[in-house]
Structure 1
Amino acid sequence: MDLAVIACIAAALAAAVHGYIFVLETLRWEEPGTRRVFGTSPEQAAATRQLAANQGVYNLLLGIAALAGIITLVAGARGAGLAVLLASTGIMLAAALYLVISDRTKGRAAVVQGFFPAIAVVTGLIALGQVAS
C-alpha cells in the first residue's frame, strides 16, 4: 500500500479527533460531560470559556489544514499535499508532546491528541522522501 494513502487516512482521523475537540472546547465547554473530560468545576469552566473556545478554534483549523493537505494530494499535487499534511499533523503532534511534557498526568489526552498525527507524520515523511527521489 502506498504510504501516502496511510498518511491521508491517519491525517483524516486526526482531523476528526481535532474536530471533536473543537466541539468540546467551543460548543460544549460548560456541559457536565465536558467538564468531566477536562477535570474542571462549573466555576473554572465559566471563567475559562473564552480561552477554551479560542483553543477549540485552533484545533478546528488544524483539522481543516490536514484535510486541505489530503485534498491537495488527491488532486494530484503529491509533494504540496504531503507538505501541507505534514505541517498540520506535525503541529498536532508537537502540541500533544508539549501536553505530556508539561503535565505528566495528561498522558492519556496526549495519546488521544497525538496518535493519528504521529502515524501521519512518519508515513508522510517516508512518502515525501519517495516523491523527492
Structure 2
Amino acid sequence: MNTVAQIFVGLAGAFHLAVFAMESLLFRKPSTYRRFLIPNRAEAEIAQPWAFNQGFYNLFLALGAFGGLIAGGDKGHAIALFSCACMAGAGIVLVASNPKLARSAVLQAGPPILALVLAASL
C-alpha cells in the first residue's frame, strides 16, 4: 500500500477512535449527545447503552486500521483496508438512513474511501 493511502487509513482510524471516545466515554455530556441528534438528557440515558456498544464497534474498526498499518505487508494492509471498507459502508448507510447526517457521513466515510481508492490505483 502506498504512503498516501496509509495516511488516509490513519485518518480514518483516528476519526473512529474519536467517535469511540464520544460514544463510550463522553456520551452523557450534553455537547456530545446533541452531536448525535439526541435532544435531551432523558433520551440520552435511554440511548446510552446503544452508544456505549456502538463506540466499541468504532474502537475495533480503528484498531483494525492501525493494527493493519503496524503489521504491514500484504496481510496487514488487507486488514487495514477491510476496516476501511467497513467504515465506508457504515458511512454510506448513515447518509442513506438520514440525509440530515450527510456531514457526519462524509467525515466517517471520506478518508476510508480515499484510502481504498488510493490503495487500488497507485
Please give the TM-score of this superposition, normalised by the length of structure 2: 0.94
Once the 2 structures are TM-superposed, how far is the Cα of residue 103 of structure 1 from its aligned partner? 1.1
Does residue 122 in structure 1 map to residue 117 in structure 2?
yes
Q: List alignment gaps of at least 5 residues for structure 1.
A: 128-133
Query: CA–CA distance in 2 between the matches of 1:84 and 1:126?
Result: 18
Partner of 2:51: 52
Query: CA–CA distance in 2 between the matches of 1:85 and 1:126?
Result: 16
Once the 2 structures are TM-superposed, how far is the Cα of residue 86 of structure 1 from its aligned partner? 1.1
Instruction: Name the Cα RMSD after superposition.
Output: 1.2
Alignment coverage as a number of residue pairs? 121
Does residue 84 in structure 1 map to residue 79 in structure 2?
yes
Give the share of equivalent positions with the same residue, in percent.
34
Question: Please, which of 26, 30, 33 is the counterpart of residue 31 of structure 2?
Answer: 33
Q: List alignment gaps of at least 5 residues for structure 2.
A: none
Does residue 9 in structure 1 map to residue 4 in structure 2?
no
Residue by residue over 1:8-62, the C-alpha shift from the partner in whole angstroms, topping out at 9 and shown as x without a partner, is 1111111110010001000111101102211212111101111100000000100
Residue by residue over 1:81-125, the C-alpha shift from the partner in whole angstroms, topping out at 9 and shown as x without a partner, is 221111000000000000001111110110111111111111122
Question: Please, which of 20, 23, 48 is the counterpart of residue 22 of structure 1?
Answer: 20
Partner of 1:130: none
Partner of 1:72: 71
Please give the TM-score of this superposition, normalised by the length of structure 1: 0.86
Query: Highest Rg: 1 or 2?
Result: 1
